[in-house]
Amino acid sequence: MKKLISQLQNLNFTQYESRAYLSLLQQGNISGYELAKNSGIPASKIYQVLNKLMEKEVIIALDSEPVKYTPLPPNEVLSRLKGDYLNTVNNLDSKLDEIYTKQHLSNNYIWNISGRETILRRVCDFINQSIKQIYLSVWDEEVEEIQSALMEADRRNTKLSIVHYGENLLGIGTEFKHGREHQIRQQRGERRLAMEIDEEKVILCHFHENGDSNAIWTTNKGLILLAKDYIIHDIYTIRMAEKFGDAANEIFELN
């Protein structure tokens, strides 16, 4: 019982509230006087505790004389608490990261990130923050995981220029198929993702075939322009190859 009380306190219940709720789970449909006796809560405190539990929507008062109290089902209570908690965490995740990012937009730090999930979450955060334009170079394996954020950016009328390494075109913005995926996999043993956002920040990611992943992001203007030029150069090369075929391939040594 002590462990359950401690765990309920972790969910923002007081000790008395925890004891009262657990006691009602064992025997519901009882008066405040009976609950005070069963739970060991002082009679002078019991109705204050019951009012707090009703505010938290974990118990209800029955229309009887004297008034009796009964608990709501634990799965219903925990499901609501879980939903409230996750909503709070999700809201803080985006808001705090936005504050943090804005705070560091004026410096030239280079931030390191590791782990595929963390990297792609940061990529999605940057896409969600975009206003004017995004230049993106991405492989099929990663585009699937950032697709929703890209579609939402397109609905916001963010200008999208995307170079695809693979077949997974999204039907948004201006898209280009690179076409040399097999050679690049053999040469590098890794996939790259490069993205420039609103000429304000850039993120460069490496996803190794062995599962290791790392990335950097920065607001350094020189690196932003370098990444943008790299993606634009790929776009020019693809368009030249599409228009001039083998002649362009020979010039750029694409064969």
For each of the chain's 255 residues, which pLDDT tens digit applies?
889 999 999 888 999 999 999 999 998 889 999 999 999 999 999 999 999 999 999 999 998 888 999 999 999 999 998 998 888 888 887 777 777 666 655 567 889 999 999 999 999 999 999 999 999 999 999 999 999 999 999 999 999 999 998 888 899 999 998 766 666 665 676 889 999 999 999 999 999 878 889 999 998 999 999 999 999 988 888 888 777 666 555 655 544
Residue 145 three-state SS: helix
Q: What is the pLDDT of residue 201?
A: 92
Q: What is the pLDDT of residue 2?
A: 85
Ordered structural domains, the chain, with CATH: 2-77 (1.10.10.10), 97-252 (3.30.870.10)
Spacing of C-alpha 190 from chain mean position: 24
Q: What is the pLDDT of residues 109-141, one digit of tens each?
A: 889 999 999 999 999 999 999 999 999 999 999
Spatial neighbors of 109 by CB under 8 A, at least 6 apart, are 218, 219
Closest CA to 205 of 141, 251, 150, 156: 141
Q: What is the pLDDT of residue 255?
A: 44
Q: What is the pLDDT of residue 246?
A: 63
Spatial neighbors of 42 by CB under 8 A, at least 6 apart, are 36
Q: What is the pLDDT of residue 254?
A: 47
Q: What is the pLDDT of residue 187?
A: 67
The per-residue pLDDT of the chain, averaged, comes to 87
Q: What is the pLDDT of residue 251?
A: 57
**Residue type, position 103, single letter:** Q
**What does the DSSP 8-state code read for residue 146?**
H
